[in-house]
Copies of this chain bind each other. A is one copy, B any other.
Amino acid sequence: MTLKQYLAERIAMIDRALDAWVPAETVEPETIHRAMRYSLFVGGKRIRPILCMAAADVVRADTPGIAEAAVTLEMIHTYSLIHDDLPALDNDDLRRGQPTNHKVFGEAMAILAGDSLLTLAFQVLGSLRQVDATIRSALVVELAAASGTVRGMIGGQVLDIEGEGQTPTAELLEKIHRAKTGALLRASVRMGAIYAGASPADLASLSEYGEHAGLAFQIIDDILDIEQSSEALGKTAGKDLHQQKVTFPAVYGLAESRRMAEEERQKAHAALVRFGDRGTRLLEIADLIVDRKS
């Protein structure tokens, strides 16, 4: 199977699992379910659930039900985008090429839609039927910690907001990105490994892969914000500079940032060596992350 086929197959599984878990637009109260579905199905690369499923594939040939665990990462990611885009935060009108949630449903409903996706993610993890309760609990803790305030997503968000306009230092940059996007990307890989029952050694290697792939993802994101148009990105380009965000290009310049992304790609590859052929998909996904244009 080519990478393209692999991804298309995974994305279809992800969309089916999302559709099964998020109440239909006809379920009362309809508005909130419309708002949740709008942001979930407006597009998106599904990189987090894909990382989760591909990591599980490294550990075991077959992991039934993995898509259900994987979509909880997309729910968390999507809730964070909805809240991020609110007027009180980044105040953005465009996301994934479409009007942001609050532009369509109003601020109140956008806040509640974010809350709902966050809540639903844990309901899904607690309800997984094809792994035992010890794994369900471990997944809950993994996802919550990666999304939380201490070296997790929300913590990174706070540092990011507070960092606006501050002198962009390498130390602050690393702290923000490790937490803001790094933690959830790393957790994506780890959750797949945990779901599949990885050995401690396999889990450690996969965590390392996740850390480097996650950092590469963020460096490229910062670069694309400068190099690409809003149209290509599907979100407002050039925002980081405008908001004086602490980014890789702001600290290191574009050329050095590009070199650093390459270095992270190599480190991600290296973490997979012990898996031999089984690591190929994750290796290709690291390439995809670094080589993408949007």
**Chain A positions near chain B (C-beta within 8 angstroms):** 23, 27-29, 31-33, 36, 79, 83, 86, 88-89, 106-109, 111-112, 114-116, 118-120, 122-123, 125-127, 132-134, 136-141, 143-145, 147-150, 152, 154-155, 157-159, 161-162
Contact = CB atoms under 8 A, between A and B. Distances in A.
A160 B31 CA distance: 12
A239 to B, nearest CB: 16
**How many monomers of this chain does the complex have?**
2
A88 B87 CA distance: 10
A143 B141 CA distance: 15
Contacts of A158: 29, 31-32, 109, 112
Given A83-B111, A149-B116, A126 B144 contact: yes
Given A88-B107, A112-B157, A149-B23, A126 B119 contact: no
Contact of A119 (B27, B86, B118, B159): B118
B88 A29 contact: no
A111 B123 contact: no
Given A29-B155, A31-B158, A119 B147 contact: yes
Given A29-B149, A123-B145, A133-B134, A89 B111 contact: yes
A134 B129 CA distance: 12
Q: Which of A115, A119, A132 gathers the greatest number of chain B CB atoms within 10 Å?
A: A119
Given A122-B143, A132-B133, 13 more contacts: A29-B159, A83-B112, A88-B107, A89-B111, A118-B118, A118-B119, A119-B147, A119-B148, A120-B144, A123-B148, A127-B141, A133-B137, A136-B140
A166 to B, nearest CB: 13
B150 A125 contact: no
A21 to B, nearest CB: 11
Q: Which of A23, A115, A118 gathers the greatest number of chain B CB atoms within 10 Å?
A: A115
A36 B32 CA distance: 26
B31 A148 contact: no
Contacts of A125: 140
- Please list the 5 inter-chain residue pairs (A to B) with the smallest Cβ-Cβ separation, ordered nearest first: A126-B140, A123-B144, A88-B107, A133-B133, A126-B141
A116 B33 contact: no
Q: Which of A134, A140, A141, A161 gathers the greatest number of chain B CB atoms within 10 Å?
A: A140
7 contacts: A23-B150, A32-B149, A32-B155, A114-B115, A119-B144, A119-B154, A122-B144
A141 B123 contact: yes
Contacts of A147: 119
B140 A120 contact: no
Contacts of A112: 83, 154, 157-158
A115 B27 contact: no
Nearest to A176: B29
B150 A27 contact: yes
